[in-house]
Amino acid sequence: MIVFFTLAVTKLNMTYINNIGLYFLMIKEMFRKPTKWSVMKGLILKDIDDLVIGSLGIVAFISFFVGGVITIQTALNITNPLIPRYLVGFATRQSVILEFAPTFTSIIMAGKVGSFITSSIGTMRVTEQIDALEVMGINSLNYLVFPKTVAMMLYPFAIAIGMFLGILGGMAACVYGGYTTLEDYITGVQMDFDGFHMTYSFLKTFVFAFILATIPSFHGYYMKGGALEVGKASTTSFVWTSVVIILLNYILTDMLLG
Amino acid sequence: MIEVKGLHKSFGDAHILKGIDTFFEKGKTSLVIGQSGSGKTVFIKCLLGLFSYEKGTISYDGKIFSELSEDQKRDLRAEIGMVFQGSALFDSMTIQENVMFPLQMFTKMSKSEMEDRADFVLKRVNLDDAHYKMPSEASGGMQKRVAIARAIVNNPKYLFCDEPNSGLDPKTAIVIDNLIQEITDEYNIVTVINSHDMNSVMEIGEKIVFLQYGLKEWEGSKDTIFKTDNKAVTDFVYSSELFKKVRKMYLEEKQ
Ligand SMILES: Nc1ncnc2c1ncn2[C@@H]1O[C@H](COP(=O)(O)OP(=O)(O)O)[C@@H](O)[C@H]1O
Ligand SMILES: [Mg+2]
């Protein structure tokens, strides 16, 4: 029984290890035999449009309202009169810049951008379009994954907008809800600003952008089966992308701030 | 010339190809026939290097495919045209863009030259009014024809077609068959077609390889297939009453 169990676990681990190895091979292969620049340029522009510009709306919407909620929650929980009211602005700024905009938004993007990437590449796999590319002598990983990765390097701009709107949303909630005055909120937002927090935050965002482009691509590219499996692959891809983002967030935070 | 020696391919425990030896010559249309599920698609995908295989060698004009570097493989593949069973058109591109795609990737043609060439091949497959449609807006038969146009647009040296006329009406099927044969003759290329369509066999089978249970059961041409006594072949080829009659008439005529 125990032997059987150990065997099962080992087998499971082997698939994980194999997949991790395959993922890194994919990254390496992605840079080989590049597609003609004239073609690649078009692909990158299209992916910028699909992945980054197409996500601005939802990022803006979520940031603004979550910023507002963070402010309200903080304001409602500060009941001790000894704590200054401007702390509300300070707390909003810190949570939006450090965690909400880079990490929380990226998890949502793992759902939006990630499932889009997995299902579009997965559909190309099941309808033999990837085989068609390979048969033509095209490096399909470079053709499909590289432009998405490059396009996602603009994702930090979306996050910057998210940070700004989050703080703005907090301000709106604060002032309209009558929790603190505008002056207090602004004082809080400007208080003790540490430039390194921005560096940390954008560094994270770049790493997440890379993960958001490559892990969903991996799940789409190496999927097997038919249309039904495309749906399953999107779900698995969302789970793994989120898990990796959360783990890397922990590791990077510990390394850079801890 | 493409040479295949001792090709074995399995998926897990399922042994699909059990040692295939054959060759395909320049300027001839070669047909690989066999029942649905007999491994025709797997065979052609092994030839193209899309599937890895356990044993055997495949060589293109003397170059052993598995010994080429990844980059050499890709250079060789730029000379291959392939028509997939499900057409495999790029669904983010119009029909014209699909056909122009190999030119865009591998030639230095200007846009108007590419358009002219695309027009030319689309005319050859009897499609001259669908340039700006998306593949999803085209019928199955149209998609097949676009796939053929895309496969031949860059003058390949080797042409592979996986069931090129499945899903086509008999008239279009014959047009497609003849087209493939013409192209093969005209450009002196190696053409390998997977088929289970007996019309094609009789029409264009200059060389026929019959696969059954993972083995090459029989090999010949459209002339010898009438005379063969191989039971597996006659069972497969003459499964329809019409072909039984045709064979009888043919053999009587010969006597
Ligand atoms: N990717 C695959 N994984 C596992 N089995 C496969 C795969 N592709 C084909 N097969 C199996 O190989 C056999 C031959 O299939 P195929 O070559 O598609 O037949 P056909 O002659 O109709 O083209 C079938 O039994 C099929 O189930
Ligand atoms: Mg098949």
At B10 the three-state DSSP class reads strand
At A222 the three-state DSSP class reads coil
| Cross-chain Cβ contact A129/B90 below 8 Å | yes
At B55 the three-state DSSP class reads strand
A125-134, B3-12, B173-182: range with lowest mean pLDDT: B173-182
Is the pLDDT at A1 greater than 70? The verdict is: no
Is the pLDDT at A11 greater than 70? The verdict is: no
Give residue for tokens 């899309």.
B50
Provide CB contacts within 8 A for B214, sequence distance 6+. B15, B16, B17, B18, B38, B39
**DSSP code of A181?**
-
Q: What is the mean pLDDT of residues B202-217?
A: 90
* Residue of B7, B9, B15, B41 with the most ligand 1 atoms within 8 Å of its CB, for mutation: B41
CB atoms within 10 A of CB B248: 11
List phi, psi (to 5°) of B59. -125, 140
Which protein residue has the closest C-alpha to ligand 1 atom 5? B11
B residues 108-127 lying closer than 8 A (beta carbon) to A = none
Which protein residue has the closest C-alpha to ligand 1 atom 17? B39
CA distance B70 to A209: 29
Confidence (pLDDT) at A5: 66
**DSSP code of B135?**
G
For A136, the closest of B86, B91, B102 (CB atoms) is: B102
CA distance B73 to B59: 12
Which protein residue has the closest C-alpha to ligand 1 atom 6? B11
The CA–CA distances, whole Å, from B110 to A111, B100, B107, B115, B119 equal: 41, 11, 9, 9, 14
| Cross-chain Cβ contact A137/B78 below 8 Å | yes
Chain B within 8 Å of A39 (Cβ-Cβ)? Answer: yes
In angstroms, how far is the first alpha carbon of chain A from the final one?
44
Provide CB contacts within 8 A for A191, sequence distance 6+. A86, A89, A90
List phi, psi (to 5°) of B184. -60, -45
Q: For the segment A85-112, what is each residue's pLDDT rounded down to a tens digit? A: 889 999 999 999 999 999 999 999 999 9
| Cross-chain Cβ contact B106/A32 below 8 Å | no
Residue B212 CB–ligand 1 contact under 6 Å: no
User: In chain B, what is the greatest distance between 2 CA atoms, to the nearest angstrom?
Assistant: 60
Residue A241 binned pLDDT confidence (cut-offs 50, 70, 90): very high
Task: Choose between B178 and A207: higher pLDDT.
Answer: A207
Q: What is the mean pLDDT of residues A189-205?
A: 93
Residue among B169, B173, B198 nearest B35 (CA): B198
User: Beta strands B29-33 and B190-195: pairing type?
Assistant: parallel
Residue B197 binned pLDDT confidence (cut-offs 50, 70, 90): confident
Chain B within 8 Å of A138 (Cβ-Cβ)? Answer: yes
Q: For the segment B10-50, what is each residue's pLDDT rounded down to a tens digit? A: 999 999 999 999 999 999 999 999 988 999 999 999 999 99
CA distance B36 to B8: 19
Residues in chain A within 8 Å Cβ distance of B52:
none
Confidence (pLDDT) at A130: 96
Confidence (pLDDT) at A3: 67
Which protein residue has the closest C-alpha to ligand 1 atom 8? B42
User: Beta strands B2-11 and B55-60: pairing type?
Assistant: antiparallel
Confidence (pLDDT) at A7: 66
Confidence (pLDDT) at A2: 65
Provide CB contacts within 8 A for A217, sequence distance 6+. A26, A117, A118, A121, A144, A145, A148, A149
| Cross-chain Cβ contact B50/A134 below 8 Å | yes
**ipTM score of complex:** 0.89
Q: For the segment A110-163, what is each residue's pLDDT rounded down to a tens digit? A: 999 999 999 999 999 999 999 999 999 899 999 999 999 999 999 999 999 999
- The domain locations on chain B are 1-79+157-222, 92-155
Q: For the segment A207-238, what is each residue's pLDDT rounded down to a tens digit? A: 999 999 999 999 999 999 999 999 999 999 99
User: Beta strands B63-64 and B55-60: pairing type?
Assistant: antiparallel
Chain B within 8 Å of A49 (Cβ-Cβ)? Answer: no
- The angle formed by the CA atoms of residues A207, A213 and A215, to the nearest 5 degrees, is 90
3-state helix, strand, coil in chain A (%, to 5): 85, 0, 15
| Paired tokens of B39 | 């491994």
Domain B1-79+157-222 has CATH 3.40.50.300: yes
CA distance A143 to A31: 10
Residue B11 CB–ligand 1 contact under 6 Å: yes
Is the pLDDT at A61 greater than 90? The verdict is: yes
Residue B41 CB–ligand 1 contact under 6 Å: yes
CB atoms within 10 A of CB B174: 16
Confidence (pLDDT) at B75: 86
β-partners of residue B158 are B80, B190
In chain B, which residue's Cα lies nearest the Cα of A37? B105
Chain B within 8 Å of A136 (Cβ-Cβ)? Answer: yes
Alpha carbon dihedral B7, B88, A136, B59, in 10-degree steps, equals 10
| Paired tokens of A231 | 């749906």
Q: For the segment B105-164, what is each residue's pLDDT rounded down to a tens digit? A: 988 899 999 999 999 999 988 888 888 999 999 988 889 889 999 999 988 999 999 998
Task: Choose between B46 and A80: higher pLDDT.
Answer: B46
Confidence (pLDDT) at B249: 81
Residue A205 binned pLDDT confidence (cut-offs 50, 70, 90): very high
Determine the distance separating the centroid of ligand 1 and the alpha carbon of B16, expressed in angstroms. 7
| Paired tokens of A53 | 């510009």
| Paired tokens of A112 | 């939006």
Q: What is the mean pLDDT of residues B91-101?
A: 95
Chain A within 8 Å of B140 (Cβ-Cβ)? Answer: no
CA distance A130 to A138: 9
Work out the mean pLDDT of chain A and round it to a whole number: 93
Determine the distance separating the centroid of ligand 2 and the alpha carbon of B131, expressed in angstroms. 28
**DSSP code of A10?**
H
Provide CB contacts within 8 A for B76, sequence distance 6+. A137, B60, B63, B65, B68
| Cross-chain Cβ contact B74/A139 below 8 Å | yes
Residue among A180, A173, A167, A14 nearest A92 (CA): A167
